[in-house]
Amino acid sequence: MLSQEIHQKIYFWSLAYLCFSVPFMSKFLPFTIGVVILILNFLFEGNLFLRLKKIVHTPWILLFVIFYVLHLISAFYSTNFSEANRDLFLKLPLLIVSITFSSISLSKSQKQRLYSIWIIAVVLVACILIGRAYVNYFDTGYVRFLFYSALAEGKHPAYFSLYCLTAIILLFQGKFEKWKVIPLMLLVLMVFLLSSRMQILVLLVLAFVKVCHEFAQSKKVSTVVILAIIGIISLFLSENLRNKTRLNNAQKEIRQLFSQNYKNSTRGAIWGFGLQTILDSPWIGHGNGDEFEKLNQAIQSKVQLTDSEVIALANVTFQDTTIMKRLYSTAERRGWDKSDLHFRYARWKLIKELSSPYNKFYKNFYNYHNQFLQSWATSGILCLLLLLAIFFISIKTGVQQKDFALLAIVFLIAMSFMSESMLERQYGVIYFALILPIMMLESRKSV
């Protein structure tokens, strides 16, 4: 039987491994190792009943557990069992990691070490990505390698931007020392190059709030903070010149979202259809997995095609041997039914060429692009309220402890949830299950 001190050391180093591995988002450094060690350590620690009982008396841990349980319950009235099973496995860290926090004891210095490990990992990944991007740029001459998904190299830009912003916030924990300027500027540069619009907006808001806070506290702003803000503004202007298309698209979409034609924007249309599907079953949701199907059925029902147009184009396609050979080759490779390829191709091509704002969504299988709507559609109004309660308790804790970093992280996650269904990807799930609980856990001396 291991001593309590050894168990606490195992917890700490498991969390340290998670803080280092998650930012890499790599199968060669799987974060699941840390999750497995956490739960095994929890199960073999002893006094299991007493530690499980503690969960009931820790509201934020209990909310995480019930949130997962609601997704489990909703799987029973879903018709898409494979998607439900996939989602339950995906969200398992929300249950496992939160439960183990009922037994974890972290001192303030241990928390700071975990924050430092996260910052180091994110900075390392940022250096690797920027280095590779410049190599690709010099090899090909294509500027696209310096921005967005090409820069992220398979990683979702919004998620790594989220990680970078978290590291930026953690850099401001405690006294801001001059050496922090270099990693700060690198991370700010990375956020702008990744061009994830919501994260750029959050960065600018947090920078403004931080300056106001500094003025309120000391009536003056230190040279370091001034340089950091000037750097942020400079990077923003530079980004605006070099990646104008992405920002113009963002500006256009924001204007559309706040106009009567909000459904012409991608997210506006998806949110509109999402609310329609939610109102069909607001209390218990549509079931885990079925919420995707309901949303996409609603989107596709808006696409209008006439049979005569489809038949005419299908006949032309059938006579074009080049197109048919390509279609048969694709069908063979992907295992598609070959009997009506020309009709399906004709339908797809007509949809692509039509000007209706809904047609551009037809060929994609969308989630709700909003985690609050996604949770509501999946498991009903109670699931939404639980998610909101997690944020409410986090804000309350941040205000009571005057913890600017915790409040900033909560704001970052909430805004990210507004524009992405972040708990539909494993690196959104593990981030939510890891960072917020570490910050919420009351600092105390390890036993």
User: How is residue 59 annotated by DSSP?
Assistant: H
C-alpha to C-alpha distances, 209 to 127, 203, 206, nearest whole angstrom: 28, 10, 5
Residue 348: per-residue pLDDT: 74
Residue 241's pLDDT is: 45
Residue pLDDT tens, the chain, 447 long = 678 889 999 999 999 999 999 999 888 889 999 999 999 999 998 888 888 888 888 999 999 999 999 999 999 998 888 888 999 999 999 999 999 999 999 999 999 999 999 999 999 999 999 999 888 888 887 777 888 778 887 778 889 999 999 999 999 887 777 788 889 889 988 988 887 888 888 988 888 887 777 777 765 555 555 556 556 555 555 544 444 555 555 555 545 444 555 455 667 778 888 888 999 999 999 999 888 778 877 777 766 667 788 888 888 888 888 888 888 888 777 666 777 888 878 877 777 766 555 555 555 567 888 999 999 999 999 999 999 999 999 999 999 988 989 999 999 999 999 989 999 999 999 999 999 999 998 765 444
Binning the chain into helix, strand and coil, the percentages to the nearest 5 are: 75, 0, 25
| 128, two tokens | 């690797």
Closest CA to 374 of 364, 382, 384, 361: 384
Pairwise CA distance, residues 83 & 105, whole Å: 36
**Which of 43, 3, 35 lies closest to 447, judged by CA?**
3
Question: Residue 271: which residues within 8 A CB-CB, separation 6 or more?
Answer: 368, 369, 370, 373
Which distant-in-sequence residues (6+ apart) come within 8 Å of 63 by Cβ? 386, 389, 390, 393
CB 379 within 8 A of CB 342: no
DSSP code at position 337: -
- What is the 8-class DSSP label of residue 244? H
Confidence (pTM): 0.82
Residues in the chain: 447
pLDDT of the residue at 349: 79
Query: Largest alpha-carbon pair distance within the chain?
Result: 77
The residues, ordered by sequence, that sit 6+ positions from 325 with a Cβ below 8 Å of its Cβ are: none
DSSP state of 442: P
pLDDT at 246: 52
* Distance from C-alpha of 125 to C-alpha of 131, rounded to nearest angstrom: 10
CA separation for the pair 372, 376 (Å, rounded): 6
Q: Which two tokens stand for residue 59?
A: 């509201």
